[in-house]
Amino acid sequence: MSPTIILIAGGGLALILLVVGLLVSSRDERSLVDERLEYLEEDGYTVKDSKERSAVMTEWIGKQAGRYSWGQNISRSLARADLKLRVGEYIALTIILMIGGAAVGWYLAGGMDGSSIVATIPGILLGAGVGFFGPRIYVGRLQGRRLQRFDAQLADMLNLMVNGLRAGYSIMQAMEAISRELPPPISDEFRRVVQEMQLGIAMDVALDNLKHRIPSRDLDLVITAMNVQREVGGNLAEILDTISHTIRERVRVKGEIRVLTTQVMMSGKFLALMPIFLIVGMYFLNRSYMMRFFNPGTRMFGIPILITGGLLIALGYFMMTKIADIEV
């Protein structure tokens, strides 16, 4: 391999990592007031900030994407994953990764060796697909981990709130104690609820925003109980104490089920990914053999075989996940 090619590939990778680092670091430096102002802007308020850090292009992309449901879904996913990225920055990062992945796929497919564009198309599509789905998978994993940690802390949060209410605290004071005493992510979320209420937002609206950020059925039960108590009255401490016991038992049962179904889930993922990795490896190691699926004389059989195999893999993975998906 030529040293020039190695330098070009290394320089491109370094450029991508530099852009990613700048985007992430610029969002981490935002103050809490900036985050609140951005939240108000997304909810329909007009907020002007003379210290705008993001590029004009990413701002324009974010505003355009916010008009559509998919842009709102991206914003909601980033908030649930607690990523300090705007929608425009996330889209720009995805585009950069797609271009970089397509370039790497073109190079590995023999683009520098003089291969035809038809022969490099699978590599380009594969690299672009990795760049497109990679951020989504990463955000989804962060969401799942954060939701799991939140559910595990919910019972302790309820016990702290119950003790505060029995000691004479108001609901807002009890939530302030939660934001100070408990670790993230539950402390961060309740700190945001308290700050919204201090800015004049009604408690039911702030709790509804919390429910949108944290799609937890246990949290939905807690918020419903708090809203009902505010409307009809009653002893909220006793209600939350009962709910806390229910949530603890549910978390315990979920943990036992997770231990029993982990092997099934891992087997399903391995069996689904193994043919894909095998096809990708064979394409880069023995391209002439894999191109028989796409040759003019054999494509009428090769392409349907690949499509049928992909459908069967997807069906098998779906069935194994449904078997392991046990509701509590």
Q: For residue range 174-206, list pLDDT tens digits in order.
A: 889 998 888 888 888 899 999 998 888 888 888
Confidence of residue 259 (pLDDT cuts 50, 70, 90): confident
Nearest to 218 by CA among 258, 186, 263: 186
Q: What is the pLDDT of residue 30?
A: 46
Structure tokens, 27: 């969002």
Average pLDDT, the chain: 77
**How many percent of the chain have pLDDT more than 70?**
77
Structure tokens, 35: 């985050």
DSSP 26-62: HHHT--HHHHHHHHHHHTT-----SS--S-HHHHHHH
Distance of CA 324 to the CA centre of its chain: 22
Contact indicator for 153, 170 with CB cutoff of 8 Å:
no
Between 124 and 19, where is the model more confident?
124
pTM to 2 decimal places: 0.65
Q: What is the pLDDT of residue 247?
A: 85
Between 219 and 50, where is the model more confident?
219
Q: Residue type at 45?
A: Y
Q: Looking at 85-89, 109-113, 277-281, 295-299, which range is the least confident one?
A: 109-113
Contact indicator for 216, 154 with CB cutoff of 8 Å:
yes
Contact indicator for 76, 140 with CB cutoff of 8 Å:
no
Q: H or E element: which one contains 200?
A: none
Please state the rounded mean pLDDT for residues 60-86.
75
Peptide bond before residue 185 is cis, with ω within 30 degrees of 0: yes
Confidence of residue 4 (pLDDT cuts 50, 70, 90): very low
Q: Looking at 51-55, 143-147, 245-249, which range is the least confident one?
A: 51-55
Q: What is the CATH code for 149-254?
A: 1.20.81
Q: What is the pLDDT of residues 20-68, one digit of tens each?
A: 554 554 444 444 444 544 544 444 444 444 344 445 656 666 666 666 6
Q: What is the pLDDT of residue 46?
A: 41
Between 164 and 10, where is the model more confident?
164
Q: What is the pLDDT of residue 49?
A: 46
